[in-house]
Amino acid sequence: MFYWLYLHLDPHHAYVPLLNLMRYLTFRTGMALVTAQVVAMLMGQRFIDWMRVRQGKGQPIRTDGIERHVTEKRGTPTMGGFMILASLAVGALLWADLGNPYVWTVLFVTASYALLGFSDDYEKVTKQTTAGVSGKVKIVVQFAVAAIATYATVSAGHQLNDPVGLNTSVTFPVFKQLVLNLGLFYVVFGMIVIGGFSNAVNLTDGLDGLAIVPVMIATAAFGFIAYLVGNFKFADYLQLHFVPGVGELAIICGALIGGGMGFLWYNAPPAKIFMGDTGSLALGGLLGTMAICTKHEIVLGVIGGLFVLETVSVMVQVASFKLTGKRVFRMAPIHHHFERLGWAEPTIVIRFWIVAAVLALAGLATLKIR
């Protein structure tokens, strides 16, 4: 909104105090971060108290899981992802260029997946079951939304004069000239990236603070990538594929980090509120869409390697049990395996944070290694 005011109140881009700052993407990103954090902190305890009253028994805990979770975490309210998403929306709508199609594409996926996650959380809380919305319904909705979003990014590329062929292509880290044009199949590829990563973050959200910090780390990395590939000079210097207009997504990343910090204040062990599918599905979808928009889909697998590891652990566990009747891990996802080994919850969470940070740095290193 503020950027729109800048364009209309200062159409010739003359020096107007304060409004002139709207020209700078870094300023608007920083302000989006601060705004979102303030909103999340203001919601904070009031929102938690309200959700505790509305939900009563809170999120149901799996009885076949870690025994102490049943007693220690019982009664904790869920749907805390709404705190993050509300603050993200305020920060993005106030500071981003609302005429940018990439901004609306990312917000569309985030909002759609948030509604899906809310439906799932609502089913669990009201019926006091861990089942929620059926897996088939989730997948259909996720893939449908992802297909629309992927098509929208391709259209946005044409609208903003992206290089010919890049809109439907997959780029590869390190190899600057390697570009694979998938044509119409790029929509299918986008569905897998966005939907798959949404579920990957959802699987990771199993311990207090475990998912939100790696999400913020990955978001910070992609905010930096968006800023670079959306700037012709930086993209040319680093020999990256220039994507006009995508730099505006750095503001959404800033808003998410701010909202995430506000949420972490209350989600840090012992959590006063859980993110729930409302948050995890939406945040995973946001990261997947960021990767599609910035043309760094493969790099997402490195930066978000922790989420990939969690997903692979579940796939291996299920495949092994169906084929051999034996389990590879004591419990999946893998963070529960370490709990079964006797690791304390804060130890697992902090060590996973470290892994997420290292993987993010490794992903960012690919920007220079060409």
SS (H, E, C) the chain: CHHHHHHHHCCCCCCCCCHHHHHCHHHHHHHHHHHHHHHHHHHHHHHHHHHHHHHCCCCCCCCCCCHHHHHHCCCCCCCCHHHHHHHHHHHHHHHCCCCCHHHHHHHHHHHHHHHHHHHHHHHHHHHCCCCCCCHHHHHHHHHHHHHHHHHHHHHHHHHCCCCCCCCCEEECCCCCCCEEECCCHHHHHHHHHHHHHHHHHHHHCCCCCCCHHHHHHHHHHHHHHHHHHCCHHHHHHHCCCCCCCHHHHHHHHHHHHHHHHHHHHHHCCCCCCCCHHHHHHHHHHHHHHHHHHHCCHHHHHHHCHHHHHHHHHHHHHHHHHHHHCCCCCCCCCHHHHHHHCCCCHHHHHHHHHHHHHHHHHHHHHCCCCC
Decide: 62 and 124 in contact? Cβ < 8 Å: no
| Residue ranges of the chain whose pLDDT lies below 70 | 6-19, 56-73, 129-131, 160-165
Give the count of alpha carbons within 13 A of 289, CB side only.
35
What pLDDT is stored for residue 18 in this prediction? 65
Report how far residue 107's alpha carbon sits from residue 22's, in angstroms, rounded to the nearest whole number: 21
pLDDT of residue 268: 86
Cα 73 to Cα 25, 102, 131, 196, 207, distances in angstroms: 41, 39, 18, 28, 10
**Rounded to two decimals, what is the model's pTM?**
0.92
The CB-side HSE value for 278 (13 A sphere, CA atoms) comes to 22
Please give the pLDDT value at position 58: 59
* pLDDT given for residue 368 in this prediction: 84
Closest alpha carbon to 117 in 76, 75, 81, 74: 81
Question: What pLDDT is recorded for position 290?
Answer: 97
Buried b (16+ CB within 10 A) or exposed e, 226-250: bbbbbbeeebeeeebbbbbbbbbbb
Question: Given the structure tokens 């009885």, which residue do they identify?
Answer: 63
From the list 304, 258, 207, 272, the residue with the least C-alpha distance to 85 is 258
Residues 295, 166: contact at Cβ < 8 Å?
yes
